[in-house]
Amino acid sequence: MGEGGNIMSNAEKFHLPVEIHIISEVLEPHENDWQQECHQFYRQIRRAPEIDKVEPHKKEIEEEGHRGGAIEIFNMITTGISSVGGLTAIVSVASLWLEHRKQSKVVLKFPDGMEITLPNASESEINRILKLYQDKIAQQ
């Protein structure tokens, strides 16, 4: 759109970064079994059309016998959302995923320091945070 227009292209679209931390009470973050479980969560998040960006955390390899470089770590995922629908999708996927993993939790971390911990967060707390970020996204 020409000068003065207010429609943004995808490259210019505001993306609220949301870090997702997936935590097991019984498995260590680096264990292969846990990484496979977290990879399943990652694949489900990637399928959600409301979420604009999904990237696993990258960890540098410094072990002897490795060439170096980075590997993907799936218990930490960075997302970018441009609507409250993206945040709702993350909460929905996390809630469903946690139904089968009772000794786990998912923590959503926002740039301003606010967090949602699932499954512990109440519905009213989740709705309050959704409303807050809906307003912040709308202002962008």
Helices (H) and strands (E) in the chain, counts: 3, 5
Select from 132, 43, 140, 12 the least CA-distant residue to 84.
132
pLDDT tens per residue across span 3-12 = 444 333 444 5
**What amino acid occupies position 11?**
A
pLDDT at position 30 over 80: yes
| CB 80 within 8 Å of CB 16 | yes
Continuous H helices in the chain: 32-47, 84-99, 123-139
Cα 104 to Cα 99: distance, rounded to the nearest angstrom? 9
Cα 82 to Cα 97: distance, rounded to the nearest angstrom? 23
Domains, the chain, with CATH or none: 16-139 (3.30.70)
pLDDT tens per residue across span 57-114 = 988 766 666 566 778 999 999 999 988 889 999 999 999 999 999 999 999 999 999 9
